[in-house]
Structure 1
Amino acid sequence: MKKSYLVTLGLALAVVISSAFTKDEPRYKNLKVLPKNTTKEQMDSVMKHFTVALGVKCNFCHVYNQEQKSMDFASDGNNHKSIARDMLKMTAKLNDKYFNVKHADKLDADLEVTCYTCHNGKVHPAKFGVKPQQQQPPADTTRKM
């Protein structure tokens, strides 16, 4: 009995010591633009922003894995994900260069330009500004008698 107790204690101690010296694996796989140490709260915030800014759902950028019956968030199988990465880089450059936003590529920066700036809740931003209304000739204010 004493021997099994010591073996169990030794194994438990080995697990605790090994976990203390092992590095935590990154929470998310295949992050190429977002920081590798992105927290769940930050990721949820970023993804919610995409949903609102473009008016889309997860499957717009992510693929569904039929075998696992779940979304494969790490997959690069959907080209929209690549486009989103390029757009994140673009907005970070704009914020850094033109608005002097410090750490524009970080998730805690107060940004001036975001996805919503151009997309306004639509998948594709408008290609043209608001069409000017047809100018009506001024009403004839002179009275005829």
Structure 2
Amino acid sequence: MSAFMPIKQERIYKNLKVLPKDISKEDLGTVMDGFKTSLGVKCNYCHAPSETEKGKLDFASDAKPEKGTARMMMLMTAKINKKYFHIKDVKNPNAILPVSCITCHNGNERPKTLDPATL
């Protein structure tokens, strides 16, 4: 190995239960940005404060129930998309878009529901 070749180190995140354990920093950022946009929240909505570093978040912690809910919702949307939305060509303008967080949340922490009696 040449001394000039940098050694690529894989980023290993702790406590990933739904996302791939070898997810890239860029892909993880994209997923987290999607949550923030879809729910209109910031990182501390799901991630607990660090007990050892003031002002930082403990991304591996499961202390907040919202993180567990996010995991369940990711599994739910994946199951819905696998069962009902078999997209072969996403460039096809007639393709049905898969279900994602924003489908129901529309920028709100909790999806808004309508009372059927008022429809």
In 1, are the aligned partners of 2:18 and 2:71 still within 8 Å (CA)?
Answer: yes
Greater radius of gyration (CA): 1
User: Which position in structure 2 is the counterpart of 1:28?
Assistant: 13
Higher helix proportion: 1
User: Which position in structure 2 is the counterpart of 1:59?
Assistant: 44
User: Which position in structure 2 is the counterpart of 1:143?
Assistant: none
TM-score (norm: length of structure 2): 0.78
Q: Which runs of 4+ in 1 moved over 3 A?
A: 129-132
Which residue of 24, 34, 43 corresponds with 1:39?
24
One-letter identity of the residue aligned with 2:63: G
Q: CA RMSD in A?
A: 2.3
Structure number with higher relative contact order (C-alpha < 8 Å, ≥ 6 residues apart): 2
Partners of 1:95 and 1:122 lie apart in 2 by: 22
Residue deviations 1:2-53, cap 9 Å, x none? xxxxxxxxxxx9xx9xxx8xxx665211000001110000010000000000
User: Which position in structure 2 is the counterpart of 1:83?
Assistant: 69
Matched, 1:122 2:81: no
